């Protein structure tokens, strides 16, 4: 088992993912090490998006993994295990909403965005070297920027205040369980579980494709993590992240 509770706690830092990357270059650290910042001044979301978080209210951390057992072609499984670990953690809280993943990396409770994932993989040739999984979860924050379309926090959903360190350790345990499943090769189980937790799975809804609305049905992901959309014409098309986006109503 990994040392998931090897936590490096920092007060203020630009980015936990950047800090973890620099740390890996200068010293050996155990797998499962977590960089936890109470304030992240330049946290990133996917692409050029910035992750906004009120200092001391939420979880903003990075987890360092060494998935040498995984071939690079299967790297989306890391996204799956991190996502499922987070959803497992949320499932044992009195949230009162169905939690899901809005492909590929947003964690939702109902129609509210509860968190996000940013994974940086380092691959050398055909060998997996390191994975830095950046995770942001809205925990105790109650007031959000009006520029954010649909944020929500665990406290808003449950009415309870949470101790961040305790939440972090519990969440790490759930992620560890899923990571062990991946290491054990239980891939079909992970595939099915991830698919079942995808937002809009097997339902017709609207997507934006090159500025135009596409009516499609979410059919899950392929082995490389591309989203599969069935069209009204009966074709199933694969999409990379950034090529298509949900229209949430």
The range of the structural domain enclosing residue 67 comes to 7-196
143-192: per-residue pLDDT in tens? 998 888 899 999 999 999 999 999 999 999 999 999 999 999 999 999 99
- Whether residues 119 and 221 share a domain: the answer is no
- How many Cα atoms within 13 Å fall on the side-chain side of residue 160? 9
Average pLDDT over residues 14-41: 93
Specify the CATH number for the domain of residue 106. Answer: 3.30.930.10
**Whole-number percent of the chain with pLDDT over 90:** 84
- Residues 189 and 216 placed together within one structural domain of the fold: no
Task: Please report the pLDDT score of residue 41 as a whole number.
Answer: 80
The CA distance from 77 to 191, in Å, is 8
Asked if 126 and 87 sit in the same domain, the reply is yes
Question: What's the confidence (pLDDT) of residue 148?
Answer: 87
Q: Output the DSSP codes for 39-101.
A: EETT-B-STT-B----TTTSEEEEEEE--TTS-GGGTHHHHHHHHHHHHHHHHTS---S-EEE
Length of the chain: 249
Q: What is the rounded distance in angstroms from the CA atom of residue 179 to the CA atom of residue 78?
A: 8
Q: Are residues 111 and 229 in the same domain?
A: no
Provide the domain count of the chain.
2
Residue 51 is predicted with a pLDDT of 60
What is the pTM (predicted TM-score) of this model?
A: 0.94
Distance CA 95, CA 40 (A): 26
The pLDDT of residue 43: 57
């Amino acid at each position: 088992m990994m040392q998931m509770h090897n936590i490096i706690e920092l007060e203020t830092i630009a980015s936990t993912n950047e800090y973890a990357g620099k740390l890996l270059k200068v010293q050996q650290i155990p797998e499962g090490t977590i960089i936890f910042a109470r304030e992240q001044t330049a946290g990133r979301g996917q692409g050029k998006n910035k992750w906004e978080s009120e200092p001391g209210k939420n979880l903003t951390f990075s987890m360092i993994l060494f998935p040498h057992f995984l071939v690079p072609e299967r790297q989306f499984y890391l996204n799956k295990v991190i996502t499922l670990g987070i959803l497992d953690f949320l499932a044992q809280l009195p949230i009162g909403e169905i939690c899901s993943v809005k492909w590929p990396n947003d964690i939702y409770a109902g129609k509210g965005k509860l968190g996000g994932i940013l994974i940086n993989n380092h691959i050398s040739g055909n060998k997996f070297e390191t994975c830095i999984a950046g995770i942001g979860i809205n925990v105790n924050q109650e007031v959000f920027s009006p520029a954010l379309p649909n944020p929500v926090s665990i406290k808003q959903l449950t009415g309870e205040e949470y101790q961040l360190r305790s939440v972090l350790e519990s969440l790490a345990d759930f992620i560890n369980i899923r990571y062990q499943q991946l290491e054990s090769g239980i891939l079909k189980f992970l595939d099915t579980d991830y698919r079942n937790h995808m937002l809009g799975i097997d339902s017709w809804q609207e997507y934006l494709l090159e500025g135009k609305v596409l009516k499609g049905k979410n059919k899950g992901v392929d082995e490389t993590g591309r989203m599969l959309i069935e069209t009204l014409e009966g074709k199933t098309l694969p999409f990379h992240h950034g090529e298509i986006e949900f229209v949430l109503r």
